[in-house]
């Protein structure tokens, strides 16, 4: 008799507990799902220099894919906008150049969806500017 009474108490406690957990699980699984964290972005790179500065090299990197341009003509360079998935992790831009005096400048910029996200300026004769946009932040 005592044994049956204990079994009923266990059942009367366990059954509502299982029902509660089941209902909570059902409601939590029905809530809205998050959007895909890997969004598609438009990325563009630009390099600008003051007059008479020679741009020696421009290096871009999207994820693990790197591209290098040497002896860039003129004092400006810009890439075509690229469609990039944020899952690439980061995009990088670096440029080197030779200035004519201490006031020579080399400016690198990264634009994401048309908005400037990163900029770096090098000043002097031996110029090197670099910047990065990290999508994992």
Count of other CB atoms within 10 angstroms of residue 75: 16
**Within this chain, do residues 14 and 70 fall inside the same structural domain, yes or no?**
no
Task: Give the C-alpha separation, 130 to 73, whole Å.
Answer: 19
Domain that holds residue 57: 40-134
**Within this chain, do residues 129 and 63 fall inside the same structural domain, yes or no?**
yes
pLDDT tens digits for range 64-123: 999 999 999 999 999 999 999 999 999 999 999 999 999 999 999 999 999 999 999 999
**Within this chain, do residues 8 and 27 fall inside the same structural domain, yes or no?**
yes
Tally helices (H) and strands (E) across the chain. Answer: 1, 9
**Within this chain, do residues 5 and 46 fall inside the same structural domain, yes or no?**
no
pTM exceeds 0.75: no
**Within this chain, do residues 125 and 66 fall inside the same structural domain, yes or no?**
yes
pLDDT tens digits for range 36-45: 567 899 999 9
Torsion sign, CA atoms 24, 26, 27, 32: positive
**Within this chain, do residues 45 and 20 fall inside the same structural domain, yes or no?**
no
- Contact present, 90 and 79 (Cβ < 8 Å): no
**Rg value, the chain, Cα:** 29
């Amino acid at each position: 008799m005592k044994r049956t009474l204990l079994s009923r108490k266990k059942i009367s406690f366990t059954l509502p507990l299982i029902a509660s957990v089941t209902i909570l699980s059902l409601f939590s699984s029905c809530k809205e799902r998050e959007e895909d964290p890997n969004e598609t972005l438009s990325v563009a790179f630009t390099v600008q220099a003051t007059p008479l500065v020679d741009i020696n090299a421009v290096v871009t990197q999207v994820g693990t894919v790197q591209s290098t341009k040497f002896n860039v003509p003129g004092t400006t360079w810009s890439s075509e906008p690229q469609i990039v998935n944020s899952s690439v992790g980061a995009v990088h831009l670096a440029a080197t150049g030779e200035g004519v005096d201490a006031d020579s400048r080399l400016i690198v910029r990264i634009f994401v969806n048309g908005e400037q996200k990163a900029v770096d300026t090098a000043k002097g004769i031996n110029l090197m500017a670099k910047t990065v946009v990290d999508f994992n932040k």
